[in-house]
Amino acid sequence: MSPALEPGALDFFSHSEEQTRRLGKKLGKLAQAGQVIALLGDLGAGKTRLAQGFGVGLGVSADEVINSPTFTLINEYQGRLPFYHVDLYRLSEAVEAETLGLDDYFYGDGVTLIEWANRLGDSLPPEHLEIELHHLDETKRRIVIRAFGAEYIELLERFKKATFGIQ
């Protein structure tokens, strides 16, 4: 795995579940209507933990526990914006977002976060924020965030500033 990075991407470590939740929370505070967040990473990488923090950052009430949808692909929550939590793990093969009816979410008023977003292949909206989580050891994760599209470059810049004070 190369540590070399494309310009603008962010590459750092999380050392605990709590840190990963906080990362999600910061992003949730900054997210805006219509944005799409694609989560990549293997089983147990921390995608759902990040999604839980994200929901809190979006203002979803604390007693609504955010878990991956069990019988559906999508759970919907109401925070300061609608929060659409999508988990494509149960899909056995790549599918079109349109077939799943996801386009209505992507181009709606809420924020959509997708676990196993790679299963959408080319039907993931070209502009999005990608967060890749790598399992390094029991509690350590490498997290790489990449922005695709001007709006997401701005989101990532605001996140860097809020988190690391990078101008």
Ligand X SMILES: Nc1ncnc2c1ncn2[C@@H]1O[C@H](COP(=O)(O)OP(=O)(O)OP(=O)(O)O)[C@@H](O)[C@H]1O
What residues line the site for Mg ion (CB under 5 A)? 47-48, 68, 115
Alpha helices in the chain (DSSP H): 17-30, 47-57, 97-100, 103-106, 150-164
Residue with Cβ nearer Mg ion (47 or 128): 47
Which residues face 11 on adjacent strands?
A: 144
Residue with Cβ nearer Mg ion (100 or 115): 115
Half-sphere exposure of 44 (CA within 13 A, CB side): 6
- Give the span between the Cα atoms of 77 and 85, in whole angstroms: 8
What residue number has its CB nearest to Mg ion? 48
Give exposure, 17-55, as e/b (b: 16+ Cβ within 10 Å). Answer: eebbbbbbbbbbbbbeebbbbbbbbeeebbbbbbbbbbb
Residue with Cβ nearer ligand X (15 or 104): 15
Residue with Cβ nearer Mg ion (48 or 112): 48
H, E, C per residue of 118-130: HHHHHHCCCCEEE
Work out which of 22, 26, 82, 89 binds ligand X, going by CB under 6 A. Answer: 89
From ligand X, Mg ion, none, interface partner of 45 (C-beta below 5 to 8 A by class): ligand X
Q: Which stretch binds ligand X (CB under 6 A): 42-50, 77-85, 96-104, 121-129?
A: 42-50
> Mask 9-28, x = binds ligand X (CB under 6 A)?
-----x-xx-xx--------
Is position 141 an interface residue for ligand X (rule: CB under 6 A)? Answer: yes
